[in-house]
Amino acid sequence: MKFAIALFSAAHAPSSRRALLFAQAALAGGHEIVRLFFYQDGVYSASNNVVAPQDEQDIAHQWREFVSAHQLDSVVCIAAALRRGVLNQEEATRYQRSAVNLEAPWELSGLGQLHDATQAADRLICFGGP
């Protein structure tokens, strides 16, 4: 089965860990992840500036490792990212900001990428949200 996965909550939220565990289990079960889409507070999972307390799991780091290890298509919503100060080099330069906190394996793009993923996938699975 082909899955598109959308994450709407920050890395420290329980739903982010559930999404990561689901994605790991999907691949382990022989399924395909068409795209991971990070939206709303989910964009914080892609920020290089997220630091977890020592007594907590670093889910943002685990996401980065998982995406890199499996070479997954992982898109961060550009509008949500800009609103929350999550910037790659191009956007930091465009908006004259000094902080760059979004790098590979993440890609900034728009909601159209979520639409495309839902068209290519058998199922869209969403985690978190308001």
Residues belonging to the active site: 77
Task: Using the structure block, give the residue that is written with the tokens 């382990």.
Answer: 28
Give the count of alpha carbons within 13 A of 67, CB side only. Answer: 24
Q: Strands, DSSP E only, in the chain?
A: 2-7, 32-38, 74-77, 107-109, 123-127
Question: Which residues have CB under 8 Å from 60's CB, separation 6+?
Answer: 11, 44, 45, 46, 47, 50, 52
- The conformation of residue 76, written as its DSSP 8-state character, comes to E
